[in-house]
Each structure stands twice: as C-alpha cells, then as structure tokens.
Chains A and B, each alone.
Chain A
Amino acid sequence: MPAELPFLDQPLKSHHQVIERAKLIGRTHGLSSVVVAAAEEDDVLAAMYACKQEGISDAILTGNPENIRKALDLAKVPADSFDIIATESDQESALKAANLAASGEADVVMKGFLKTSILLKTLLKSDNGLRDRELVSHSALLYVPKYGKLLNVTDGGTIPTPDLRQKLVVIQNAVRVLRAVGVAKPNIAVFGSGESINDKYPETLDAQDLVSVAAEHWKDEINISGPMPLDLAIKKPEDLNARINDQVAGYADILLVHTLEQGNIIAKTLIQFGDAIFMGVIAGAKVPISLVSRSDSMMNKMASIALAVCLADFQRRNIPALPSIIANEQEIQ
C-alpha cells in the first residue's frame, strides 16, 4: 500500500498545477482509471492517449470494438493502448461504465460518442450505484491568466434554471471541486447584472435569498455574497471606484449563475477572448464525470481529465465538503 499523498495545504492556481497534481496522484497511487462510455470518438481517444503518455490517467474503453479501432486509427493512437469492453448500444456502454465505476475499477467516467442525457440518466439510476446523496452539476473551472487564479463558473452545463434548493446543492458540488484543488474556504459570488437588490430583476431577489440561507448555514466553510456583477467579483472594489466592503469582491473562487446559458456563455467568453484554460467536470456523483467538447483544445481536454482525477482523489479520502442543509436531496434531481 503506497503512502497516502498529503492533501493540499495551498490552493492550486493554474491548470498546470492541476495537471502536476494529477501526475503526483498517479505516481503515488498508480494511474487513475478513466472509463470512456461509447469510446468511438477519435477526439476523446487522442486526449486519453495524451493523458496516459503524460502520466495523468489510464483508460478503459466501452463501445463497439470495430468502431473504436477505427477511431483509434483516426486519432493516430496505437490500437493496443487501452482495454476495450465490447457493448452493443450507447445505453449498454453507459451501463458498463457505471458498473466499472461503482465496483471501484474506474475512478472517473468520461463521455464519449453518446448523448450526455443518456450517460447521466444511466449513471444516476439508483440501482447503478453511482448516485451520491446529491444533485449533480457542472463546474467549469477556469484558469484566467489575467485573473491569476482559478474561477469555478457553475452551473453552465446541466441544470437550465436551478431553484433555490438546487442552487444550494450546486454550491455543495462546486465547493467539493474547489476543495479538490486546495481551496479551503471558497469565496462565492452569486451572479447578478448589478449589486443592488431590485424588484424589477427577480434574479437579484433570488440571490439575496440564497446568500442569506447559505451564509447562515455554512458561515465557517464559505464566504458568499451577491448579487454581484462580474466586474466586482474579479476586480477589487477600489479598482472600480466602488465603495463596498465585501470579502468576496475581487477574490471570487466560484461564480454561481442563475441559468445554464449564463454559465455557458460567461465561461466561453473567458475561453475565447481571455485565453482561459477550461477544466470541466460534473460533480455530485460517487465518481467525477468528465465531458470534453470536440472544439476544446488538447490542453483543455488534458486539464479536464486531470481535474477529474484530483476530484476522484479528494472523494476517495472522504474529506467532508459542505454539510447538507436540505432534506430529501435525492428528490430534487
């Protein structure tokens, strides 16, 4: 049994550090195993191969073996690089991935050439054993060079318009992701177009309610503030000539958005215009679920997989993230 890797006592500040941490986990505990559901996707296979070469993770592939071999060929990946488990449908691929993760043979599930909805539905069916006690949600962890630290924009990927109860679980999942990269007490900015509460803008009222509940229950674990516009979340008030005394302002670790399109568009703006490196993961299940897009760069894909490896390592340690404040969480998925 290898010695336990000490947990992070300082926050990771960039995607490079996330990748290095994943490599260290691999060197200490052996390479994390990523099961790719429906692996007939050359782009994903190229990323998995790069991760194996870099010492970030290994992979198990599920899907149609003939199509997987064609995709490996297209990706210029040697045919014998990974174990392949033959399946006959997307559902079966997802189910096989769920079984491998539930049995502990895989540490991370990755989406291949199948619909996200099929993958999530199969993974989270209670008899597949991957449903944790929480709702799953997407975290876009971004390294924004001009911000100089990691920013988790959530949820821009799974829940179109989360209600208050769902947002509380989104916070729990987002905090878990940040704990996995060493952020002990995250600063959470609840997004708004401005910082004032205004009846004309319902999101500002939602933000006020959310901040009130979360701050009351998690005052020792997080700092939360909102509604907060993005300029104030990432720039110090004095740089904006804003007379605000707020410990989150200028130092946000999490930007909690109100709709899927807000999160998606903000994250993509930072990527397209700000050279941000994107690390995407779905948190809240018993193992991290990794999704990469065809249009992601290879660095983005590798960093996303590295983040999932770090999150899997964190979850394996059973370090508590945020205590639940919601009864019957499973009803809200």
Chain B
Amino acid sequence: MMNTPSVQATLDALLENRASSKTLRLAIAVALDTPVGELRELTDILAAKKRYELHLIGPDETIQSLENVATLHQAYLPEDIDNVLGNLLTSGGMDLCLLLPDPRRPEPSAEARLTHASGHSTLTGISLLCPERLGRPLLLADTMINDRPKHDDLESIIKVSQSAALKLGISNPKTALLAAVEVANPGLPVTMLEAEVAAAFANCKTGYVQGPLSMDLAINPSAAKKKKAKGEVPGKADILVAPSLTVARGILHCLTFACEETVVNVLLGGPIPVAVGQRGVSMHETAMAVQFSEIFI
C-alpha cells in the first residue's frame, strides 16, 4: 500500500496554506429527523475548529438546545427551510452552507433542493476521496444534480471538476468519462456522447479528458497496461465523470458503504459552495465536507 494522505490530512494541508483570520459564516440546513445528539456532535466539532460562525435553520425542538450557535432560524417544513436557506444564500449573508440529509426528501432530491433554494440551475456535485491504493486524491462527478447529462452538461461538469482539481493542487488533471467499454459504439449511446465530449476537449490546456473508459482502465495502471490502453488518462485518472446521476450515486454509495472510503461532497456553481452531508456517515466526515467546501470560497 502507498502512503496516501487521508481526506482529513489532505484538507488540513490545503487549508493550512490558506489560513486567514476571517471567521466564515456557515448556514446549516437541519432536517426534522436529524438526531439532536448527532447535531450537537457536529456543531461541537465545527466550533472547535474556531473558523466558523454557525447559523442553523431547522425545527425549533432540534436546534434550540444547541450551544456554539450564532443564530437560529426556525423552520419546520422542508419548503420553509428552502425559503430561509434561499434567502440566506442569495443575500450574500453566508460564506458557506451545509445541507444535512433529510429523510423526508429521499435522495437525490435532497441535494437538488439547493437548485431550488439558490435559483441556480448549473450546479455540479463533486465528491472527493483519497483511496490508499491509488496514492492520490480522486474526484467523482456529478453525484448530485444532473440526471442524464447531455453534451453541454458534461462539458460543464468536466470544467467544474477540473477547476476543483486545480484547487486541490492537481495540475493537468486527467479526466475519465466512465462507460462500460473503451470504444464508442452506437449500441451504447453514452459512449458516442462521451467520445464527442472528449474530442471537444482535445486541445484543452487545463488537463486531459478521455472517454469512453471503463472503471478499471480509468484507475488501474495494470489493467490499462494489460488492455494496452493509449492516452494520458488510462490508469491515472484524477477525475471520474459518471454517465448519469444513478451511476454516480451508485459509485458514491459503493465507495462509502462497501469500500468504507471516506468521501466528502460539495455542490459547486451556486452563489456559495455548499457542503452536502450523506446519510449513514459520521459527523466527523460531515465536518470534513464543510472543510472541503471552504477550499472553493
């Protein structure tokens, strides 16, 4: 195994280099069913970092007993939370936002609500992990918004992902457009679309884009070698772009629950970066998502 820095170590190193004394205003959208104990743990973790001023939006009975909180915005119904959140985001009163998973709004609509709340429609969900076996950070997109991205959507997702990779210090990021096969095939329309999009990035100066590529070829150097894959990306991808939201979320859930990778999520493209929590993960990981979002201020 390689000595790969963890997600926490990667984020700490990035934020240390850009440390400023400014306190960041963080809006946290709480769900009705968020256990108070977990929320207290989260706010304690965030408060201990001494970087954030916490502004909670949610049901009174859940948020009123919390300490370390600057303001409380009482809202019970999901649409009320959306309205408060939308006002906070568009008024310029917040630097960051955290969406906690809401069981009343089964995924993926839980994330899509930000589109509604912020009025922006070009959001992209980016997830970060640092798999020990790869020896480098890996980004996955779009894990939250675009159901079946078309050409323009994919171009946008790639550009946002490249920009995120550069913020993480990855120069000339290598993007793999994921599919089941490596050769464009009219029987698999996604592969034709990905080949077109990859061609559109042929002269890209920001990094390399290649597709269609299967998952093993994208990240596994020995699979790429065995299959004699050509190009800069096979075996070395820094960014994985999924062909659909269903696939992206499937990968995200595989990584989180079947592979036990730490994965943190951020929504980019709105007025401010938005950290997105995931059900079933620890509050420490949720706090890491906030740190991840901070990189994009």
Binding site for B on A (CB under 8 A): 144, 146-147, 156, 160, 191-196, 198, 200-201, 203, 229-231, 234-235, 239-243, 258-266, 268-274, 276, 294-295
Given A196-B106, A239-B280, A265-B247, A270 and B259 touching (CB < 8 A)? yes
A272 touches B180 (CB 8 A): no
Bound-state CA distance A260–B219 (Å) is 20
Query: B50 contacts the other chain (Cβ, under 8 Å)?
Result: no
B101, B222, B254, B257: residue with the most chain A Cβ atoms closer than 10 Å: B254
Query: B220 contacts the other chain (Cβ, under 8 Å)?
Result: yes
Provide the residues of chain B in CB contact with A294, threshold 8 Å. Answer: 226-227
Provide the residues of chain B in CB contact with A274, threshold 8 Å. Answer: 254, 258-259
A266 touches B254 (CB 8 A): yes
Q: List 24 A-B contacts (CB under 8 A).
A: A156-B180, A160-B187, A193-B245, A196-B106, A198-B109, A230-B250, A230-B257, A234-B258, A241-B35, A241-B280, A243-B103, A262-B244, A262-B250, A263-B180, A264-B180, A264-B214, A265-B215, A265-B242, A266-B250, A270-B254, A272-B219, A273-B261, A295-B223, A295-B227
Provide the residues of chain A in CB contact with B255, threshold 8 Å. Answer: 269, 273
Bound-state CA distance A294–B133 (Å) is 21
Binding site for A on B (CB under 8 A): 33, 35, 101, 103, 106-109, 131, 133, 147, 178-181, 187-188, 190, 214-217, 219-220, 222-223, 226-227, 242-247, 249-251, 253-261, 279-280
Partner of A261 from B103, B108, B179, B256 at Cβ < 8 Å: B179
B280 touches A240 (CB 8 A): yes
Given A193-B107, A194-B107, A146 and B280 touching (CB < 8 A)? no
Provide the residues of chain A in CB contact with B147, threshold 8 Å. Answer: 193, 200-201
Provide the residues of chain B in CB contact with A266, threshold 8 Å. Answer: 247, 250-251, 254
Given A265-B242, A270-B259, A231 and B253 touching (CB < 8 A)? yes
Provide the residues of chain B in CB contact with A270, threshold 8 Å. Answer: 254, 258-259
Partner of B258 from A147, A191, A261 at Cβ < 8 Å: A147
Bound-state CA distance A240–B280 (Å) is 4
Beyond the given A193-B250, A265-B215, A265-B247, could you list 18 further A-B residue pairs with CB under 8 A, ordered by the A residue number? A146-B258, A160-B188, A191-B250, A193-B249, A195-B106, A196-B106, A201-B147, A203-B246, A229-B250, A231-B257, A241-B101, A241-B103, A243-B33, A261-B178, A262-B250, A263-B180, A270-B254, A272-B215
Partner of A269 from B103, B215, B227, B246 at Cβ < 8 Å: B215
